[in-house]
Amino acid sequence: MGTKTISASDLRINLSDALDAVNDNDILIVTRRGKKERAIVDLDKLEDLLAANDPTYLASIKDAREGAEYFSHDEVFGRL
């Protein structure tokens, strides 16, 4: 994941291009007077970040891992 930085004044002038530059691996940091103020992220990335911090979601992952059944390569594919 990378970050790109843009000033608020440049963002106003180049909003469309700035939004196009944000993809699922980047965060666009918006600065005012040289100070980092805000961030623009891809919506899918935001949803992933929110889910990763949700205790219910994290508990469901833990439960799924504990209940998972694991098989060896030979058990799944046999002797090919």
pLDDT (tens digit per residue) in 42-54: 988 888 888 888 9
Position 78 scores a pLDDT of 85
Residue 50 lies in a domain: yes
Q: What is the CATH number of the domain that holds 45?
A: 3.40.1620.10
**Sheet strands (E) in the chain:** 2-7, 26-32, 35-41
Here the tokens at position 2 are 């990378």
CB 38 within 8 A of CB 62: no
Residue 78 lies in a domain: no
What are the phi and psi torsion angles at 24 (to 5°)?
-70, -10
Position 35 scores a pLDDT of 96
Under the banding of pLDDT at 50, 70 and 90, the label for residue 24 is: confident
Residue 76 lies in a domain: no
Residue 74 lies in a domain: no
Range of the domain at 50: 2-66
Q: What domain count does the chain have?
A: 1
Residue 71 lies in a domain: no
Q: Does the model's pTM come out above 0.95? A: no
